[in-house]
Structure 1
Amino acid sequence: MLATALVLAACAAPETLHERPGYWADQSTAARAYNERVRFLVLHYTGGDEARAVQVLTGPAVSSHYLVAPAPPERGGAPIVRQLVPERARAWHAGTSSWADRSHINDSSIGIEIVNRGRHESPRGQVWAGYSAAQIDALIVLLRDLVSRYDIQPQNVVGHADVSPGRKIDPGPAFPWKRLHEAGIGAWPDPGRVATYRARFRRRMPDMRTIQRALARYGYDLPVTGEHDQRTHAVLTSFQMHFRPARYDGRPDPETLARLWALNAEYR
């Protein structure tokens, strides 16, 4: 009877030995001192159509974990999103990049490409392509899942322009960051805090060193020089595209700084 019970218990237990080429991996004992590779979600636009994006992202030079189409197909009423790289693997999407004192953001992020033409010439001059409602709805579902599974902090849902200011501008000022925040994804400045700081900065603006420290505190890679130099201009432009898309000239003003201070007060 005892032998039978032991055999039955062994059959019911989860399999902890996994056969691999030339050896077995025993997974019966798990360590607790580790964390997930993924800390950041980086959003991009493709700068072209879906066919071209698939060609480029499955080629030898660049890749992303996910690709979201303008009109995602559905199955059972749910959108289908292309997954091009396993989440455990390192996709080549961010390039030279840094955020929140981390560099080489490919190592610690999931990259999501959104099919969008981006900035382009039109009869009205340069314009930014919009994002479709169905595309953003599919993106929100995807991001909610990733944020939940990897416990991504709101301030770590960022754009390519945030992690590579001056080098990249995607997903651009037409991207609906506020809509994502309303869906529970990513950061956005609280209007009450913004109003308080706006009133303060209309009376007196902080100096450039203080502004640079505030941008670095939020996550941008920015040396404190005390000068409105090229790097500071690029970082301010990226910040404005994300959090103040009505104006992204790279110049500090009370509205831009009020949003920056409000974000640091809430998230940093």
Structure 2
Amino acid sequence: MKKLLLASLIALLTGCATPLPNIDHSLTSKGQSSRVRFIVLHYTAIDLPLSVKVLTEQEVSAHYLLTDEVEPRFYALVDENRAAWHAGLSSWKNYTALNHSSIGIEIVNPGFKDEPDGRHWYPFSDRQMDQLVALLKQIKERHQIAPENILGHADVAPQRKQDPGPLFPWKRLADEGLIAWPDANAVAAALPKYEAELPDIAWFQQKLAQHGYATPQTGVLDPETHNVLVVFQAKYRNTKWDGVPDAESAAILDVLTAPKPKQ
């Protein structure tokens, strides 16, 4: 009797089980592309052990964590095909909520320390940058990411974020062919024009938005526009980033937003 009941139960369970779908993976559509359009770079502002703990045990996450060890290495924490929770409220050009369209890379770096004589920022080591450049080249190639879409957290969230900070070596990434960078000769050529007559705030707001930043179009130097200018200057001219519109900032913006020559 027990054997009969067991057999009946097995038959019942087998009959109720959902059959596996019959999927043939031998074909591939031509019309497709990667979901990844952006790479967003961060500093952790905490040490390596705490960075690991936060990025693996809390709600915040990233695809990669670059250590600050003598021989830096990456921890791969989230598969590139999945969204990591690293960008938060964010935007660039016409895109918003960049978690869903970006790869996030956290770099172990203390960020800054406030001292009586002011704020001191921590540099990134050359070995960290060597590792970062190598990974960025792979990701850029893998997902066909445009140079203007490799960004800092501050670029996509200028009202609340500062990372990776003014000491992040963006020019190194430009020299490696990873990001767009204003040509120094073109900036120098444009500078006298803006020294003679500085554009109004509406011009700066328009150019900052054209470049990609979420910028108010109020025509006045409001706190939000000031914050965007700070982020912009810290990236492209980190010797002075006070958020005050000036001729050099105008010349850099002019060059960055100039129409690209037709191929």
Fold match, TM over 0.5?
yes
User: Does residue 1:244 correspond to 2:237, yes or no?
Assistant: yes
Aligned mate of 1:88, from 57, 81, 88: 81
Amino acid at match of 2:171: K
After superposition, residues 1-268 of structure 1 pair within 5 angstroms as 22-71=20-69, 73=71, 80-122=73-115, 124-265=117-258
Higher-Rg structure is 2
Note if contact 1:189-1:262 (Cα within 8 Å) is conserved in structure 2.
yes
- Displacement of 1:69 in angstroms is 1.1
Alignment partners' CA distance in 2, 1:120 and 1:138: 25
Which stretches in structure 2 are left out of the alignment for 5+ residues? 1-18
More moved, 116-125 vs 206-215? 116-125
Alignment partners' CA distance in 1, 2:95 and 2:67: 30
* SS across alignment from 2:114: strand
- Displacement of 1:26 in angstroms is 1.3
- Could you say if the C-alpha distance between residues 248 and 185 of structure 1 is closer, same or farther in structure 2, counting changes exceeding 3 Å? same
- Could you say if the C-alpha distance between residues 55 and 85 of structure 1 is closer, same or farther in structure 2, counting changes exceeding 3 Å? same
Alignment partners' CA distance in 2, 1:226 and 1:190: 28
- Deviation per residue, 1:134-189 (Å, 9 max, x gap): 00110000111111111111111110000000200000001000011111111211
- Could you say if the C-alpha distance between residues 30 and 72 of structure 1 is closer, same or farther in structure 2, counting changes exceeding 3 Å? farther
Note if contact 1:233-1:250 (Cα within 8 Å) is conserved in structure 2.
yes
Which stretches in structure 1 are left out of the alignment for 5+ residues? 1-20, 74-78
Alignment partners' CA distance in 2, 1:213 and 1:165: 16
Amino acid at match of 2:97: H
More moved, 164-173 vs 116-125? 116-125
Note if contact 1:44-1:160 (Cα within 8 Å) is conserved in structure 2.
yes
Alignment partners' CA distance in 1, 2:259 and 2:74: 32
Alignment partners' CA distance in 1, 2:260 and 2:70: 33
- Could you say if the C-alpha distance between residues 263 and 88 of structure 1 is closer, same or farther in structure 2, counting changes exceeding 3 Å? same
- Could you say if the C-alpha distance between residues 119 and 103 of structure 1 is closer, same or farther in structure 2, counting changes exceeding 3 Å? same
TM-score if structure 1 supplies the norm length? 0.86
TM-score if structure 2 supplies the norm length? 0.88
Note if contact 1:72-1:80 (Cα within 8 Å) is conserved in structure 2.
no
Work out the percentage of aligned pairs sharing the same amino acid.
45
* SS across alignment from 1:205: coil
- Displacement of 1:211 in angstroms is 1.2
Amino acid at match of 2:54: V
Alignment partners' CA distance in 2, 1:203 and 1:134: 43
Alignment partners' CA distance in 2, 1:97 and 1:165: 9
Aligned length: 243
Amino acid at match of 1:198: L
Note if contact 1:70-1:135 (Cα within 8 Å) is conserved in structure 2.
yes
- Displacement of 1:266 in angstroms is 6.3
- Displacement of 1:122 in angstroms is 4.0
- Deviation per residue, 1:211-262 (Å, 9 max, x gap): 1111011101113111111111111111111111111111110111111111
